[in-house]
Structure 1
Amino acid sequence: MATPENLDTTARPRRPATLRSQRVKEALTGYGFVLPAVALFALMGVYTIIYGLLLSFARWNGFTPHWTWVGVGNYLDLLYRDPVIAPVVQSAALRTVVVMVAVPALAVAIGFPLAVLLNSITRLRGFFRTVFFLPYVTAGIAVFYAWTYVLQPDGSLNYVLRHLGLGTLAQPQGFLGNPSTALPTLIVVMAWSAIPVAMLLYLTGLQSIDSSVLDAARTDGAGTLRTMTAVVWPLLRPITAAVVMLNMRDALQGFQIFLVMTNGGPGGHTTVLGLESYNLAFFSGLRPTLGLASALGWLLFVVALILAAINVRVLRSRT
C-alpha cells in the first residue's frame, strides 16, 4: 500500500499562494506593457478633449496668458448672434449638407452596379477589383494636387474636351475657378475616392448571399432586374447603411480636399464646416477665435453622434 512518503511530489498541485503570486506577476507585466499606451492616450486624447471642451466656452487668441470665459456665447455666435461669423457658418453648413448627401448617393449609385458587374465576372476578377480599388489606395495629398493640375484652365480635362469637340463644356477659368462648378467638381473627386470602398463592401455582401435564395427567385419567375431590386438589394441594406454612414462622416468632418484643392475658393464657394473651423483656429490673426473654432468642432462632433445614433436605430428597426 502506497504511503505519503512514496508519492511523487512533482505531481502535487501548486499551492494557492503560488498561483496567486504568479497571476499577480502576469497582471503586473501586462499592465507594464499597456501603461505607456494608456499614458499617451490620457495625455494626447483625454487631456486634449477636456481642454478643447473648456476652450469652447472661452475666448482666446492663443497668445494671451488667460482666457475670457463666455459660457455658451461662442455657440450662440456661431449659430446666429455674430453678424460676421454666423452667415459664413450658415453658408458653410449648407454646403456641408450638400456634400453629405451627394457623396454617399454617388458612392451607392456607382459602387453597387460595379460590385454586381465584378461579381458576374469569372475571369480576371482580382485584376479588375485591384484596378477599381486603386483610387482609394492612392488617395491623399499628392492625388489632390494631381487633380488640381488636371482641372486647371490649361489642364488635361479642358484639353480633352476641346479636342473631342466639346469645347462648350470646357471651363476657361478652370473647373475649380468657376463658382458654379467648383463644389460639384470637389464632390466628384470625393466620390471617386469613396466608390472603391463601397464597391468592395457590396461585393463582399453579394458573395455572402446564399445562391439558393437567388435560385428560388429565378424559379418564381423573377428576372435579373427584379431579383436585384426585390431580393439582393434588401439583403444588402445594412451594407448600404454602412456606406452612407462612412461617407457622411467623411463629408462632415473632412476638409483636407477642400483645403488642398481650393482653400475655400473661389470667393468662399467651397468653404465647408471643417475648413471653416480650421480657418477660425489658425488664420484669424490676433482675433480671439480659438474658442469659436473649438465650439464649431464640438458642434460637428455632436452632429456626428446624432447621425451614428440614427444609423444604429435604423439598422435595428430593419433587422
Structure 2
Amino acid sequence: MATRWREWLTGWAFVFPAVALFAVMGVYTIGSGLALSFASWNGFTPEWIWVGLENYADLLWADPSLAPGVRRAAWNTLQVCVAVPLLTVLISLPLAVTLNSVRRLRGLLRSVYFLPYVTTGIATYYAWRYLLEPEGSINLMLRSAGLGSLAQPQGWLANPSTALWTLILILVWSAVPTATLLYLTGLQAIDPSMVEAARIDGAAPRQVLRRIIVPLLTPMTAGIVLLGVRDSLHGFQIFLIMTNGGPGGHTNVLALETYELAFFKGLAPTLGLSSALGWLLFVGAVLLTLANARLLRRVR
C-alpha cells in the first residue's frame, strides 16, 4: 500500500505543473472569457458592468451601428468557409493523383508543392501584396500577354469585386500543399490490387478515380474540409495584413471583426462584445465539428 501511494504521489508530482498551467492558462481564461461576454468593459476600469445577453443581441440585431457590419462579416466568412475547402479539394486531389503516378523526381516535386506551407505566412502575404498592386507583377503579366482588359488599374485588393476572391485564392494556394500530402498518404494506403483489378475489368482512369479512389479517400476529404473550415473561421491574419477588412468592409470577416472590437475601439467598452462574438464563432466551429464527425460515421 505504501509503495502504491508513493507511486501515485510521484506521478502527480510530475503531472501537477502541467495541470496547474492548464488550469491557469486554459480553464481560467476560458471561464473569464465566457463571463466577459455577458459584461461591458473597456479593459481599464476596475469593474465590469454586467449586461446579460445584451452583447449578443447587439451583435445580431439590436445595435444598428454594429449588427449590419457583423452580418456583412458573417456573409464574407460564409463565402470563405465554402470556397476555400471546396477549391482546395478540387485542386489538391487531382494534383495528388498526378504526383502519385510520377516515378521520377517525385520527392523534388513534393518539396516544390510543399514550399507555400513552410514559408512564413506574414512574409508570403506581404509578397502577394506587392504582386497585386496596380503596377505589380500580376497586372504586368496580363498586359504583356495582351489581356490588359483583365488587369485591375486600382489593384486587385482595392477593387470591391475582386478583393475577397483574391484573398480566397491565396488561402487556397497556401492550403493545397497540406491537402495534397494528406491525399498522397491516403493514396499510398490504397491496396494497388483493387486499382489493378478495376483496370483489368476495363475501367477507364476516370472511372477508377470516381468509383474507387474518391470513395476510399472520403474520410481524408472530410478531414481536409474540416481543416479548411476551421482556418476560415478563426484565421484572420491574411485579412488583417493584406486589406484590414477593406475596401469598404468587403473583406471583413468575423475573426477580424472580433479583433477590431477588442483592440481598436479606444476606450469604448467593447471587450465584452468581442468576447461574445468570439463565443459565437466557437459555437459555429463546434457545430461544424459535430457535423463532420457525423459525416465520418456515415462514411465508415
Band the TM-score falls in, shorter-chain normalisation: over 0.9
Give the secondary structure class of the aligned counterpart of 1:179. Answer: coil
Rounded to whole Å, the distance in 1 between the matches of 2:168 and 2:197 is 40
Q: Which letter does structure 1 place at the counterpart of 2:214?
A: W
Does structure 2 retain, via aligned residues, the 8 Å contact 1:139–1:193?
A: no
3-state SS of paired residue (1:154): coil
User: Counterpart of 1:311?
Assistant: 292
> What CA distance in whole angstroms lies between the structure 1 residues aligned with 2:279 and 2:120?
27
Determine whether 1:147 maps to 2:120: no
Distance 1:160 1:198 in 2: 29
| 1:271 alignment partner, SS class | coil
1:234 maps to which residue? 215
Deviation, structure 1 residue 133: 0.6
Q: Point out the more displaced range, 92-101 or 60-69.
A: 60-69
Contact 1:77–1:86 at 8 Å: present in 2 too? yes
What corresponds to 1:68 in structure 2? 49
Cα deviation, residue 33, structure 1: 2.6
Query: In structure 2, how many angstroms separate the alpha carbons of the residues matched to 1:219 and 1:163?
Result: 49
**TM-superposed deviation, 1:139:** 4.1
Q: Check conservation: 1:133, 1:196, Cα contact below 8 A.
A: yes
Aligned counterpart for 1:202 among listed residues 175, 183, 194: 183
TM-score, reference length from structure 1: 0.92
* Kept in 2: contact 1:118–1:128 (CA 8 A): yes
Q: Could you tell me which amino acid in structure 2 is paired with residue 272 of structure 1? A: V
CA distance in 1, matches of 2:144, 2:191: 49
The answer for the alignment partner of 1:91 in structure 2 is 72
Counterpart AA for 2:263? F
Is the 1:59–1:69 contact (alpha carbons within 8 Å) kept by the matching residues of 2? yes
Q: 1:203 to 1:109 in 2, by over 3 A?
A: same
> Residue 263 of structure 1 corresponds to which residue in structure 2?
244
> 1:43-71 CA distances to partner (integer Å, 9 max, x unpaired)?
11111100000000011111222111111
* Counterpart Cα distance in 2 of 1:141 and 1:25: 50
- Superposition deviation, residue 36 in structure 1: 1.9
> Does 2:169 match 1:192?
no
**Is 1:27 equivalent to 2:28 in the alignment?**
no
Q: 1:43 aligns with which of 12, 18, 24?
A: 24
- CA distance, structure 2, for counterparts of residue 38 and residue 143 of structure 1: 37
Q: Displacement, 1:220?
A: 2.1
1:58 to 27, 39, 53: 39
Task: Give the aligned partner of residue 125 of structure 1.
Answer: 106
The alpha-carbon deviation at position 27 of structure 1 amounts to: 3.5
User: Quick check: which has more Rg, 1 or 2?
Assistant: 1
Q: Which residue of 2 aligns with 1:8?
A: none
Structure 1: gaps spanning 5 or more residues: 1-16
Percent identity of equivalent pairs: 63
Structure 1 CA distance, aligned partners of 2:203 and 2:282? 45
The amino acid that maps onto 1:104 is P
**1:113, distance to aligned residue in structure 2 (A):** 0.6
C-alpha distance in 2, partners of 1:139/1:285? 31
Cα deviation, 1:106-162, whole Å, max 9, x if unaligned, reads 110000011000000011111101110111111411111111111111212112222
Task: Indicate if the aligned counterparts of 1:263 and 1:271 stay in contact, CA closer than 8 A.
Answer: yes
Residue in 2 aligned with 1:156? 137
Structure 1 residue 214 and structure 2 residue 195: aligned?
yes
State which of 86, 104, 122 in structure 2 corresponds to 1:105. Answer: 86
Q: CA separation in 1, counterparts of 2:61 and 2:53?
A: 12
SS in 1 for 2:203: coil
Q: TM-score, structure 2 length as denominator?
A: 0.97
The whole-number CA distance in structure 1 between the counterparts of 2:134 and 2:9 is 64
Q: Secondary structure at the match of 1:98?
A: helix
Q: What is the rounded CA distance, in whole Å, between the counterparts of 1:193 and 1:87 in structure 2?
A: 30
Distance 1:76 1:104 in 2: 31
Q: Equivalent of 2:158, from 173, 177, 184?
A: 177
Report the counterpart of residue 283 of structure 1 in structure 2.
264
Distance in 2 between residues matched to 1:44 and 1:297, nearest whole Å: 17
What is the number of residues matched between the two proteins?
Answer: 300
